[in-house]
Amino acid sequence: MKSRHLSIIAKKEFRGLLNERTILLAVLLQLFIALFSSFLMVGLTSMYDPSSLSRYSHYRYSVAYAGNDSQLLSYLQTSPDFRVYKMDLSTAVAALGQRKLAAVIYVPDTKPDAPDPIKISLYTVQNDLQSAIVNVKLKDVFLKYEEHLRQIREGRLDVQPLPLQVPAATGGGDFYEFVYGLLIPLLVFMPAIIAAALVIDLITEEYQHETLETLISTPITFTEMIWGKVLACEVLVPIQAGAWLILLAINGIAIQNPVLILLQVSVTSLILILIGTLVALHYRERTAAQFIFSTGLVAVILLALAVPSNPLNLLARLAVGTAGAEQWLVLGVVLAIVAALCYATQKYAEAIARNHKSC
């Protein structure tokens, strides 16, 4: 193969990409995700832990207080998170049903020093995101009132409890889980998936548009044409992935080892691109090839995720700076797979080229 011929094919494909609206829309979608990664982190966090949104909310919620006056009412009124309205319970619940209130709190007439427990009733809208945020904010107020009641009733204790020194929570778990465990691997590997789907389109369109014979009649061979398309798709991966890393850094997300991340992504993406190439060469029809590749891609990803030191996990560890020597072992395994796929692609392309010549 001649490098000049490969560069000619690659340049041709780059010019053709400007007319591929699907690919451009996919790139713009990734750009949107990277630019607004902070908003994405908040949204993904709320999917499994809605209460985590409370740290981002500075809105004052309207709540109703019904029942007996207590120190709890004072705590609610001094809280910066609530606007408190004293109302009858029935009126308050009706207003809650009309979404005029975020919550209703009912306090019985049990005295603070009474022997019976004080059972406070909280009314909120079921399965509501705002209610989850209000619950978290009310929890702090309720804990403060509970401590007040404990001080009033501490004379009943006949055994002195042992004080516990619990370290203050530092937070940030949700941020690290989504940004480093999901967002960064998603963004830097998405270009590899798009490039693999793109190489299928680039190869199958030669068959569907019947331009293959024209290309083969030039000094460029069939195998050079295939490798030129592979090269064009592979070059796109580190460019896109590097752009996403830069945008994440602009968002204030610290990323360690960006060069090693791009190296791992570039090499690993070759596996997907070569698999897409083999599928396209075999089926030669875009719809069938894309369907088979997409189905196989799911199986490949699931198989990779079953291995502890998979590329996605390694990317997360590289991003936080905790990857050890196993990163080079993973890179070696990936390179071995790439070499095997390169050999298979070369032989398959040569076999197809011989068939074209014999025809």
Task: Output the pLDDT for position 43.
Answer: 54
In this prediction, residue 144 carries a pLDDT of 92
Domain locations along the chain? 3-35+172-358, 50-154
Show the CA angle centred on residue 122, arms to residues 133 and 100, nearest 5°: 65
Greatest mean pLDDT among 42-56, 69-83, 342-356 lies in 69-83
The pTM (predicted TM-score) of the whole model is 0.62
Tell me: pLDDT of 154 over 50: yes
Among 258-267, 312-321, 340-349, which is the least confidently predicted range? 312-321
| Residues 132, 54: Cα–Cα separation, whole Å | 8
> Quick one: 50-154 is in which CATH superfamily?
abc type-2 transporter like domain (3.40.1710.10)
The whole-number pLDDT of residue 8 equals: 66
Percentage of the chain lying above the pLDDT 90 cut? 18
336 confidence band (pLDDT: 50, 70, 90): very high
pLDDT digits (tens, 9 = 90+) for 94-152: 999 898 999 999 999 888 888 888 899 999 988 776 787 788 889 889 999 999 988 88
> How far, in Å, CA of 142 to CA of 342, rounded?
64
Contact between residue 227 and residue 220 where contact means Cβ atoms under 8 Å apart: no
Neighbouring CB atoms inside 10 A of 340's CB total: 12
SS3 readout for the chain: CCHHHHHHHHHHHHHHHCCCHHHHHHHHHHHHHHHCHHHHHHHHHHHHCHHHHHHHCCCCEEEEEEECCCHHHHHHHHCCCEEEEECCHHHHHHHHHCCCCCEEEEECCCCCCCCCCCCCEEECCCCCHHHHHHHHHHHHHHHHHHHHHHHHHHHHCCCCCCCCCCCCCCCCHHHHHHHHHHHHHHHHHHHHHHHHHHHHHHHHHHHHCCCHHHHHCCCCCHHHHHHHHHHHHHHHHHHHHHHHHHHHHHCCCCCCCHHHHHHHHHHHHHHHHHHHHHHHHHHCCHHHHHHHHHHHHHHHHHHHHCCCCCHHHHHHHHHHCCCCCHHHHHHHHHHHHHHHHHHHHHHHHHHHHHHHHHC
pLDDT of 91 strictly over 90: yes
pLDDT digits 0-9 by tens, 166-218: 666 555 555 667 677 777 888 788 888 888 888 888 888 877 777 666 666 66
Quick one: pLDDT at residue 174?
Answer: 56
**Higher pLDDT residue, 330 or 156?**
330
Instruction: Kindly report which listed range (22-31, 213-222, 236-245, 340-349) carries the lowest average pLDDT score.
Output: 22-31
Structure tokens at 47: 């999917």
Q: What percent of the chain has pLDDT over 70?
A: 76
Question: For 331, phi and psi rounded to 5 degrees?
Answer: -65, -40
48 pLDDT band, cuts 50/70/90, is very low
Among 286, 289, 280, 290, which Cα is nearest to 349's?
280
**CA distance linking residue 22 with residue 144, whole number of Å:** 55
Q: What is the pLDDT of residue 35?
A: 58
pLDDT: which is higher, 316 or 335: 335
Q: What is the pLDDT of residues 241-255, one digit of tens each?
A: 888 888 778 877 788
Quick one: pLDDT at residue 64?
Answer: 94
pLDDT given for residue 191 in this prediction: 84
User: How is residue 262 written in tokens?
Assistant: 């791009």
Query: Mean of the per-residue pLDDT values for the chain?
Result: 80
